[in-house]
């Protein structure tokens, strides 16, 4: 998951202002076409008025800017927005070392993530990436993940939905999915089940809420226009910084307790903590930083993606019917009508469901903007110049709506675009950037699909899901959550 977006939104105004303060030039037309498009600003203040005007709608603004450029790149110095797959490949792979995570981003988020993989650079990042890559590619981990998803689905999610269906209760499906995901990621990372979906554990509830509070407070810190503001607040230990300190003390206390317990037990297991703790050369603090990054990466992205998926399907009954037909066909071939969940092999056979999830992610990516800081001057493949210290961003949100990439029907939800002869056909990660690309490509991609498909298939097969209030606006936090949640009414189906 990419966290740099949080800091970008607050600092983008200052970047433009301070850069343009040193550039005095004549007023020029708003759009000046070159190889890419350049937005020329005004003397002294540069493009500051544009940033102020669009600060609350940056995703839509970028998506509107991209089509104005013949190359899919727009320069608003010292920021470059691009939706050009060749440029993305250059940033994410070809010239990867020139575009690390920005130092100011790392400094802002360090108190929460420490030296974790989400904000690490250089050799520290490579070490964690190598270790994590080995773990993510083991068959035992995939089996462990599916086992946890099955248990949570059968024993908590389905019973909860059945109760809601019988009582007529309106559920916030986004909240349900977030609790489901937190239970699963904690089981995967720590080997501990907080039981948040069933609300059976006071300690689990406390961990769930304090982790959420800490993440929201770190977002607030990142949104400060000047880093001096939060640094002063931290030094004085007042306001939101005091609350953040207390929240982090509790979060770190929980994780440290898990680590100590596992060290003392010296037992093996399928969870990450067991795997990392087995190596006695790593400090408890370093393991804590790694594990917190994993929890955050898995806590928000999957439930955000599923929330938008069910919202889209609420207006696409024909897609729902095709998914149900696929489930029925696969069950028929395998003869497991009585099983409440599908096996890993059956989930992999579900090409149309995979296409529908991918199509939803194309239009509503959990992480809609990704940014990097240029260490040195550079030139992108489309001829765009990048200055030293500039911010370069590519937007999965804008790229998913780019006609040059997806065709004239790019704004339509059409899973069939992913299918050829009834088989799912993947595309280049440099044009479909939902899971990032290059060396930083999401390690949990396959596991995310397993979880999303397992949950989606279980719900769609057994229930009708009716969205009862108008929704569709996004809210930028750690991910692109749905503003106001997703209130639904559930009804059991006769299968």
Residues making up the annotated binding site are 442
Q: Give burial (CB, 10 Å; 0-12/13-18/19+) of 142.
A: middle
Query: Both tokens of residue 314?
Result: 């609420």
Bridge partners (DSSP) listed for residue 76? 79
Q: Is 33 helix (H, G, I), strand (E, B) or coil?
A: strand
Query: Both tokens of residue 414?
Result: 């059409």
Per the annotation, binding residues for heme are 442
DSSP 42: B
- DSSP readout, 272-333? HHHHHHT-TTS-HHHHHHHHHHHHHHHHHHHHHHHHHHHHHHTT-HHHHHHHHHHHHHHHHH
Query: Both tokens of residue 106?
Result: 């790392």
Biggest CA–CA distance in the chain, Å, is 74
Query: Both tokens of residue 487?
Result: 């209130």
Distance of alpha carbon 50 from alpha carbon 39, whole angstroms: 10
Residue ranges of alpha helices (H) inside 153-283 are: 158-167, 173-190, 202-222, 227-236, 239-265, 272-277
Q: Quickly count: other Cβ atoms within 10 Å of residue 372's Cβ.
A: 25
Q: Quickly count: other Cβ atoms within 10 Å of residue 375's Cβ.
A: 13
**Each residue of 103-130: b (16+ CB within 10 Å) or e?**
eebbebbebbbbbbbbbbeeeebeebee
């Amino acid at each position: 998951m990419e966290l740099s977006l949080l800091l970008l939104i607050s600092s983008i105004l200052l970047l433009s202002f301070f850069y343009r303060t040193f550039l005095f030039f004549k007023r020029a037309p708003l759009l000046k076409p070159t190889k890419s498009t350049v937005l020329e600003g005004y003397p002294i203040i540069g493009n500051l008025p544009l940033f102020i005007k669009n600060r609350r709608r940056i995703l839509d603004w970028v998506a509107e800017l991209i089509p104005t450029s013949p190359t899919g790149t727009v320069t608003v110095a010292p920021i470059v927005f691009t939706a050009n797959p060749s440029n993305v490949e250059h940033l994410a792979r070809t010239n990867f070392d020139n575009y690390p995570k920005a130092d100011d981003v790392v400094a802002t988020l360090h108190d929460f993530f420490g030296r974790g993989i989400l904000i690490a650079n250089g050799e520290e990042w490579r070490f964690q990436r190598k270790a994590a890559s080995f773990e993510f590619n083991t068959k035992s981990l995939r089996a462990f993940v599916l086992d946890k998803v099955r248990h949570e689905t059968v024993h908590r999610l389905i019973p909860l939905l059945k109760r809601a269906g019988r009582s007529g209760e309106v559920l916030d499906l986004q909240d349900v999915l977030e609790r489901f995901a937190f239970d699963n990621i904690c089981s995967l990372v720590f080997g501990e089940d907080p039981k948040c979906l069933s609300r059976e554990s006071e300690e689990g509830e406390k961990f769930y809420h304090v982790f959420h509070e800490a993440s929201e407070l770190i977002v607030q810190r990142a949104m400060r226009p000047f880093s001096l503001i939060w640094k002063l607040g931290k030094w004085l230990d007042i306001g939101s910084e005091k609350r953040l300190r207390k929240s982090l003390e509790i979060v770190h206390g929980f994780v440290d307790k898990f680590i100590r317990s596992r060290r003392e037990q010296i037992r093996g297991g399928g969870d990450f903590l067991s795997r990392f703790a087995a190596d006695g050369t790593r400090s408890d603090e370093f393991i804590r930083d790694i594990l917190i990054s994993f929890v955050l990466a898995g806590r928000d992205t999957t439930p955000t993606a599923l929330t938008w998926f069910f919202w889209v399907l609420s207006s696409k009954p024909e897609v729902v019917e095709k998914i149900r037909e696929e489930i029925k066909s696969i069950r028929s071939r395998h003869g497991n009508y009585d099983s409440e969940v599908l096996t890993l092999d059956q989930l992999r056979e579900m090409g149309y469901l995979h296409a529908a999830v991918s199509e939803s992610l194309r239009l509503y990516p959990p992480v809609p903007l990704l940014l990097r800081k240029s260490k040195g001057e550079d030139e992108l493949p489309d001829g765009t110049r990048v200055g030293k210290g500039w911010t370069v961003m590519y937007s999965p949100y804008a790229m998913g709506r780019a006609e040059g990439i997806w065709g004239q029907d790019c704004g339509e939800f059409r899973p069939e675009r992913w299918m050829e002869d009834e088989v799912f056909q993947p595309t280049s990660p440099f044009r479909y950037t939902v899971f990032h690309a290059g060396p930083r490509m999401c390690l949990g991609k396959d596991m995310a699909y397993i979880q999303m498909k397992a949950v989606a298939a279980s719900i769609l097969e057994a229930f009708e899901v009716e969205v009862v209030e108008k929704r569709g606006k996004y809210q930028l936090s750690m991910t692109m959550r749905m503003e106001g949640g997703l209130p639904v009414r559930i009804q059991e189906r006769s299968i």
